Structures are given as C-alpha cells and as structure tokens.
Structure 1
Amino acid sequence: MIVEQFFEDYEIGFARRSFGRTVTESDIVLHAGQSGDHFPHHMDAEWCATQEFGQRIAHGTLVFSLGVGLTASTINPRAMSYGYDRLRFIRPVFIGDTITAKARITEKRDHPRRTSHGIVVEALEVTNQRGEPVLACEHLYLVERKAAA
C-alpha cells in the first residue's frame, strides 16, 4: 500500500502493531548462511543443550530483520529510512517463538542540514508470544516537508 505522508503529517504517539511471525529453524539456518554467523549459539543444538538457555537462539540480527520487516506494510514516497539508534537485544528468541512488532512515533525534529526534510523517530519494540520484550530500537526516517522550513 502506498501512503504519502509529509513530515507535518506524522503525529507523536501514533502507534501500529504487526501480526505475529513464528521463528523457524529454517530462518536461523538461512540467516547463518547469509550473514556468515555460524556460532554454536545458533547452529549447534547439542552444545546449546549444555548452556544457560538449553536450546539454540535466533541471531539478534535475524530478530531485528524480522521485526523491522513486520512493520514494513506501507510505502511512503516522501520518506526513507535514515537508520537505527539504540538497538538492544533484550531476551533470546528461540525456534518456535512467535514475535510481534509495535512501532510508535516518539519524536519529530529538524534535520541539521536539510531544511527540506525532517527526522521522524519511531520506537520499535519486538515482543515474544508471552508479551516479553525481546528487542528494542529507534527507527529514524528522513521525511520530506510540505514546504522547506
């Protein structure tokens, strides 16, 4: 879906929640192959059985990718991703866990050099099926203004 929103159209406090996404063994194996991260925490079930969590855990970068993807439901031709700040992996995500993402607009600010754009900050929280936070970060958007400031 395409939704055109200018910087002025974003409202602090606006929130949206995704559907759930169950993390599979295939997700972990594919991510390991793409990222080159074959650490035993993700790939070695026998070794993991001797560790604190007792089972393989999803890569933090996989959970981040899935969480961001869950919020990518619209295209705004007036905005683009400007990056991510304050990324934290709060709890492990295991094979079979179902994650959900919630995104909430927390801040709008001027861009330091581009008067034609502003920065919109969206807090992203990813939770597991028990409602426990597993990942948090801030997604920054570079958004076109209706008129240059």
Structure 2
Amino acid sequence: MAEQTLYFDDYQIGDVRVTTGRTITETDFVVHAGHTGDFFPHHMDAEFAKSLPGGQRIAHGTMVFSIGVGLTASLINPVAFSYGYDRLRFVRPVHIGDTIRTRVTISSKEDDPKRPDSGRVVERCEVLNQHDEVVLAADHILIVKLETEKI
C-alpha cells in the first residue's frame, strides 16, 4: 500500500483511475453468506438458481460492493477520510467466475459546511465486469483537508 498526500485542490473533476481485477469465486459466496447470514437461494442454491433469468447463482450485492470498494484501497491519503457512500445501485448481476474491477472518477467537489479546513470530494465508483459493463455504482464521499497555507 502506498501513501500519497493529496489535498482538496489536488483533486480534479474528471480524473479517473481503474483498479486491478479480481475473479469472484464460490468461496467468496460462502464466506460472505457466513459473515452476513444471507443464505438466500439466489446466492447459495445452484438448483434453485437454474430457474433465474441468468440460470446461475447471483453474487450478493453487498459482497460486490465490499470487494469493489476494497479494490480501490491501494492508496493511503493521510489528509482524507471516507465520509460514506451515496446512491448505491446494483446494476447487473455478478456470477461465479466473473472478474470485476473498479473505475473511480472524481465527479464533484464542494466546501464542507461542517469543517472550514476541509472540502468534500465525490468519487463515482463503478464496478465493471470482464465485459466492461457496470455492475454496481455508488458515490464515495471523501472529506479532504485544504492545504494549511491556504486556510
């Protein structure tokens, strides 16, 4: 993991970064179900899933979100912290054997009304499958310090 100090003004709307990929496995399904207690047949019952439109088990949306966000965690910025996620959508199903990666685009910046020494940066996170289709989308809100000499 690398560390890079990026202040509020260092973020530019439209900047994009894309993570490496990760293939979803049956173990991911089982571990996530065990962690969350979500054993719905859509995720865990291969015979039941044959009756679904895709004919196979569908990954937990929360698992795709967790893995997709985890893929973005390659950079530590000591002057920023996560404020949360908005507008989370499960756009397309993910199945065992699909490979996902996350595209992060700086979509907006604004003053932080609660913190005069910081601003809010919104990263549009789009989890993509191996066909470059968006399977999940969410807005990640960061609180980012202003450069000290500019305060």
Q: Indicate whether the TM-score tops 0.5.
A: yes
Q: How does 1:1-149 map onto structure 2 within 5 Å?
A: 1-147=2-148, 149=151
Q: Once the two structures are superposed, what CA deviation does each residue of 1:32-73 show, in whole Å capped at 9, x if it has no partner? A: 000111111100111111222211011000000111111111
Rounded to whole Å, the distance in 1 between the matches of 2:3 and 2:21 is: 22
Moved >3 Å (runs of 4+) = none
Deviation at 1:10, TM superposition (A): 1.1
Unpaired segments of 5 or more residues in structure 1? none
Pairwise CA RMSD of aligned residues? Answer: 1.0
Rounded to whole Å, the distance in 2 between the matches of 1:107 and 1:52 is: 37
Unpaired segments of 5 or more residues in structure 2? none
Rounded to whole Å, the distance in 1 between the matches of 2:118 and 2:37 is: 37
Number of aligned residue pairs? 149
The code of the aligned residue for 2:96 comes to I
Q: Once the two structures are superposed, what CA deviation does each residue of 1:64-99 show, in whole Å capped at 9, x if it has no partner? A: 011111111110010011000110000000000001
Which TM-score applies when normalising by structure 1?
A: 0.96
The code of the aligned residue for 1:141 comes to L
